[in-house]
Structure 1
């Protein structure tokens, strides 16, 4: 049965792969992004550009448009976010505010706006992107890891809140993702153990499936490289 899927950060390297994975399953996909326009190539069934996911009113309006066009929302995948590497000693508090805004508030605000339509689904699914680095942070990862830890706690709290409903709430925790940006930022790194976007998309697709109906509140590491 085809579902209506919303993917935030849908224009990015991971978001595009996740959207394409759901489309390949026959689902209808709405991609949402802060970027002013969608990238060239394949798109979602609906694309919404220039959306500030920290703006509650904008998110409410977005959800209303999606529900009006599609009839409802079954799956919400919160990929929108950001990264920074900065030591506390040499860094700025603006980086901490920016990480919490980009990673926690984007997920919380759009999820709150979409909660009623998702609860109305026969099998609602909310899937967040956490981070392996938030389990044990390293040098320079304080602001990023702290914000992603916030995503983990949001996932657990919302799963408990919705325990009596048909909605599940989970998060995947990738290690370094093999994207063009990461390759450019770390040109000397061994990328063989980096996680492919498709592997993450497959884990997300599983959590959105009926087979994962009994899984909620889980923080699932996605850390293996390679193609097999």
Structure 2
């Protein structure tokens, strides 16, 4: 499980390290420095993922608080950017379309892990297809809904998709824990996650409570 969760930031670290070396060879230290800064940020995120997984294994609750869901989504997109690019996946996510920040009640690390899992699972579902598209949208309402839509074949059994070890992947390609972990994480701060099929693929929606001042009390 730890190996699966850390694979994406490690891939991104490798890409930025190679880019940084190339910029140094071209005499562009400023751009190399920018890549080093991104590597440092990804390494910090990897450390937070390990801390979060250890807490989850011990059934500890991450302290809840005021979390900017737009910033969390931006981080999740950045962490999966290298993987999506290598797999030829087109991601539609326009943070500029939303009045950032959008504050919700939750745990920053755990919420980020949920969205990384959803993006990676969507990419896995579209493996072997010619058209690979993931779209992330926000739907305001009584609660904020974050939708992750893919252009894959859909969910074979929506009623079981969040069960531990449920997986449609080949043996050895994963433990089937990603969605089960995500389900537990969203529930841990009072949210709701659902998986349904649409005409164009699978749709996962995460409902979150808006942060209110009285929650801090």
What TM-score, normalized to structure 2?
0.27
What TM-score, normalized to structure 1?
0.26
Greater radius of gyration (CA) = 2
User: Per residue, is there more helix in 1 or in 2?
Assistant: 2
